[in-house]
């Protein structure tokens, strides 16, 4: 078991004929993901990596029974690609594309929320259930199957954490990159709930960063609803204040958003904190050693 993706997940790639889309489609295939096709408008009938290419997502879904998509469409058209996937009824939409205008995502969000689709990203490394299914750009070999759920707002920091876990002998149930943009489809809270309900996930490691209030919300959720051990690292503790103009964001979050506020919230929820990024897996091991409740 795992969350969101497993060996039965049938995946298409939107933007499969692009250089990056093709490269990572091949990477996913090599990892063992059930890639079943791709979509590029105007290139229907072609094939990439021996997979059929379709003009529309709907055609791809009808022909292949795909239930997940990996989006590598260029930023200007990516929001539309997400809408197309949602409209075609795809259950899991993983948007890798970086640099989608924020207001485009603000237009997409209500549609995603009103649908049955789950959006991961954009601007994320993707999602992987080790040894079963990789949808995204992460290097597969650093992962090992196991029981730690991993979630993060950044890419290479996730690789770092996963690598530390694997080295320490802690395999992963599923690893999810939420994405670094201001508006993303899936939050820590969404994943905490899924990991809590997943019997194969025994502990959770999360990597947050300064800005916004996603980590505080996660801490509040852990306090009330999560029984499994949780460890966390927050990036940006040393990022100095006072350099940029415009601070209206701080009003929205009501003083939240600093690393210290996030760490306080996480600690008060009984979450084990990694003080150094070198100790993320060690913090998880410590959390496993203690019972939270």
Partner 1 sequence: MNATIQQEPVDAVGELNRRLYPPARQLALSAWKWLRFVPIVSARRETKPRVSARKRLPMKIHEYQAKDLLRAAGVPVLAGRVVQTPQEAVAAYKELGTSVCAIKAQIHAGGRGKGTIKGSSQHGVELAKNADDAARIATGLLGNTLVTIQTGPEGQVVRKVFVESGCAIDRELYCAVLVDRRVGSPVLIASTAGGVDIEQVAEKTPELIVSEPFDPDRGLASFQTRVLASKLLLPASTWRNADAFFRKLCHAFVSLDASLLEINPLVLTKEGEFIALDAKMTFDDSALFRHKNIASLRDEAEEEPAETLASAAGLSYVKLSGNIGCLVNGAGLAMSTMDLVKYHGGEPANFLDVGGGANVEQVTEAFKIILSDKHVKAILVNIFGGIMRCTTIATAVVEASRSIGFTVPLVVRLEGTEVEEGKKILANSGTSIITADGLTDAAKKVVAAAKAVV
Residue closer to partner 1 (CB basis): 1 or 103? 103
Stretch that binds partner 1, among 38-46, 132-140, 168-176, 196-204 (CB under 8 A): 132-140
Just list the catalytic residues: 247
Q: How much of the chain is helix, strand and coil, in % rounded to 5?
A: 40, 20, 40
> 45, 114, 248, 293: which one contacts partner 1 (CB under 8 A)?
248
Per CB under 8 A, the list member of 8, 199, 238, 293 interacting with partner 1 is: 238
Question: Using CA atoms, how far apart are residues 107 and 268, in angstroms rounded to an integer?
Answer: 36
Q: Which of residues 37-66 bind partner 1 (CB under 8 A)?
A: none
Q: Does 75 bind partner 1 (CB under 8 A)?
A: yes
Binder among 49, 220, 250, 273 for partner 1 (CB under 8 A): 250
Contact status: 18 vs partner 1 (CB under 8 A): no
Closest distance of CB 246 from partner 1, Å: 4
Taking the C-alpha atoms of residue 86 and residue 63, their distance in angstroms, rounded to an integer, is: 17
For tokens 């997502």, name the residue: 57
Q: Does residue 180 interact with partner 1 by CB under 8 A? A: yes
Binding window for partner 1 (CB under 8 A); candidates: 1-9, 31-39, 87-95, 137-145: 137-145
Residue 77 interacts with partner 1 (CB under 8 A)?
Answer: no
Q: Which of 218, 215, 212 is nearest to 249 (CA)?
A: 212
The reply on whether position 21 binds partner 1 by CB under 8 A is no
Beta pairing class for 47-48 and 51-54 = antiparallel
Q: Is 243 in the site for partner 1 (CB under 8 A)?
A: yes
* Number of C-beta neighbours around residue 238 at 10 A: 7
Q: What is the DSSP string of 81-111?
A: HHHHHHHTT-SEEEE--S---HHHHHHHHHH
């Amino acid at each position: 078991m795992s969350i969101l993706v497993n060996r039965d997940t049938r995946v298409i790639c939107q933007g499969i004929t692009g250089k990056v889309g093709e490269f990572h489609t091949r990477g996913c295939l090599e990892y063992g993901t059930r890639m079943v096709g791709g979509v590029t408008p105007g290139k229907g009938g072609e094939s990439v990596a021996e997979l059929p290419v379709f003009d529309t997502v709907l055609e791809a879904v009808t022909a292949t029974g795909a239930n997940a998509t990996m989006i590598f469409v260029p930023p200007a058209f990516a929001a539309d690609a997400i809408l197309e996937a949602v409209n075609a009824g795809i259950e899991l939409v993983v948007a890798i594309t970086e640099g989608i205008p924020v207001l485009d995502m603000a237009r997409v969000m209500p549609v995603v929320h009103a649908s049955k689709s789950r959006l991961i990203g954009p601007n994320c490394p993707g999602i992987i259930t080790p040894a079963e299914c990789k949808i995204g750009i992460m290097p597969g070999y650093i992962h090992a199957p196991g029981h730690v759920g991993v979630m993060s707002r950044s890419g290479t920091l996730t690789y770092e954490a996963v690598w530390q876990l694997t080295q320490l002998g802690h395999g992963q149930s599923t690893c999810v990159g939420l994405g670094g943009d201001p508006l993303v489809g899936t939050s820590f809270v969404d994943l905490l709930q899924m990991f809590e309900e997943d019997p194969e996930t025994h502990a959770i490691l999360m990597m947050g960063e300064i800005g916004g209030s996603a980590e505080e919300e996660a801490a509040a959720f852990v306090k009330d609803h999560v029984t499994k051990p949780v460890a966390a690292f927050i990036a940006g503790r040393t990022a100095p204040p006072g350099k940029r103009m415009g601070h209206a964001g701080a009003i929205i979050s009501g003083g939240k958003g600093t690393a210290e506020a996030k760490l306080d919230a996480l600690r008060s929820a009984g979450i084990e904190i990694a003080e150094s990024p070198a100790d993320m897996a060690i913090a998880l091991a410590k959390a496993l050693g203690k019972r939270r409740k």
